[in-house]
């Protein structure tokens, strides 16, 4: 078994039947649910709000890994924490005091994540503070896109920085990930797979990390 966490992205499931999506995730053996939150400003799409997280919380004990693709995550992070999020990931590119926001998320008992778009060079002062570093495999905003292989060098960079600085953040990769790509990325340091369309098209393909 490959020792990685699978976090299926609920964005890829029928939003009129999300409890059905949760049941598919639970019966696959995955222990995390990735929740993509989009504001129509930071990305050209709109998805879920804090109420979805509080509703999901009533239906599952799985780990809620909330990805805030928001221009101003500082305005909403606390509401997602109060709604029951277990991890809150904000973008390095967001228009706020990212350092301060990571600290606030941590102070509220949540894992804090730093997401980095494909074209962005990680700010290693911020990477040091994060529990999770989320390397975007696609330009954020939509599921079903193709993984950008140039992101692999960033995953190796994050892996090398972690070991040479004796840090313990987890490396998550999000966007365009199917089982074959996930196996390759796990061999260069990825710890958490975020997968939406590939997972929901056939959850069994991810058995390699669930058995
Ligand atoms: C994209 C989201 C991803 C996406 C994953 O902005 O952050 O989580 O929903 O879906 P797939 O696996 O289909 O790319
Ligand atoms: Zn995401």
CATH of the domain at 20: 3.20.20.70
Q: Long-range contacts made by residues 136-141, C-beta under 8 angstroms, separation at least 24?
A: 136/174, 136/175, 137/173, 137/174, 137/175, 137/176, 137/177, 137/181, 138/174, 138/175, 138/176, 140/38, 140/42, 140/43, 140/69, 140/91, 140/115, 140/175, 141/38, 141/43, 141/44, 141/45, 141/69
Cα–Cα distance between 142 and 36 in angstroms, integer?
Answer: 9
Over residues 61-76, the pLDDT tens digits come to 999 999 999 999 999 9
194 CB less than 6 Å from ligand 1? yes
C-alpha of residue 125 to centroid of ligand 2, in Å: 22
**Mean pLDDT value across the chain:** 97
Give residue 3's pLDDT: 87
pLDDT at residue 49 greater than cutoff 90: yes
Alpha-carbon distance of 164 to 159, in angstroms, equals: 9
Res 38 pLDDT > 90:
yes
pTM: 0.98
**What pLDDT, in 10s, does the model give residues 92-137?**
999 999 999 999 999 999 999 999 999 999 999 999 999 999 999 9
Residue 2: the pLDDT is 73
145 lines ligand 1 (CB under 6 A): yes
Q: Is residue 174 annotated as a catalytic residue, yes or no?
A: yes
Check pLDDT > 90 for residue 1: no
Quick one: which atom of ligand 1 is closest to the CA of 45?
A: 6
Residue 211 has pLDDT above 90, yes or no: no
Q: What is the predicted pLDDT for the residue at 34?
A: 98
CA atoms within 13 A on the CB side of 183: 8
Mutate to test the pocket of ligand 1, among 6, 8, 9 (most ligand atoms within 8 A of CB): 9
CB 140 less than 6 A from any atom of ligand 1:
yes
pLDDT in tens, 131-156: 999 999 999 999 999 999 999 999 99
Domain of 41, in residue numbers: 5-209
Cβ distance 48 to 36 under 8 Å? yes
User: Ligand 1 mean position to 16 CA, how many Å?
Assistant: 18
Contacts of 183 (CB under 8 A, 6+ apart): 2, 208
Number of domains the chain is built from: 1
Of ligand 1's atoms, which has the minimum distance to the CA of residue 199? Answer: 12
Distance from Cα 93 to the centre of ligand 1, integer Å: 18
Percent of the chain with pLDDT over 90: 98
């Amino acid at each position: 078994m490959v020792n990685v966490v699978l976090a299926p992205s609920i964005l890829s499931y029928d939003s009129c039947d999300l409890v059905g999506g949760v049941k598919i995730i639970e019966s696959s053996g995955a222990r995390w649910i990735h929740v993509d939150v989009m504001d129509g400003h930071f990305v050209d799409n709109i998805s879920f709000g804090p109420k979805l997280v509080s509703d999901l919380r009533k239906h599952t004990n799985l780990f809620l890994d909330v990805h805030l693709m928001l221009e101003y995550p500082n305005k909403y992070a606390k509401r997602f924490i109060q709604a029951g999020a277990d991890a809150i990931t904000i973008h390095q590119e967001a228009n706020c005091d990212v350092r301060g926001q990571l600290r606030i998320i941590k102070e509220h008992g949540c894992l804090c994540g730093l997401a980095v778009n494909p074209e962005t060079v990680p700010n290693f002062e911020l990477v040091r503070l994060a529990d999770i570093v989320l390397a975007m495999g696609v330009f954020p905003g939509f599921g079903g896109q193709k993984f950008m292989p140039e992101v692999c060098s960033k995953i190796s960079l994050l892996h090398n920085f972690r070991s040479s600085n004796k840090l313990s953040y987890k490396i998550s990769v999000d966007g365009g990930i199917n089982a074959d790509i996930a196996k390759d990325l796990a061999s260069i340091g990825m710890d958490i797979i975020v997968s939406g369309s590939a997972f929901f098209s056939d959850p069994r393909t991810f058995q390699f990390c669930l058995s």
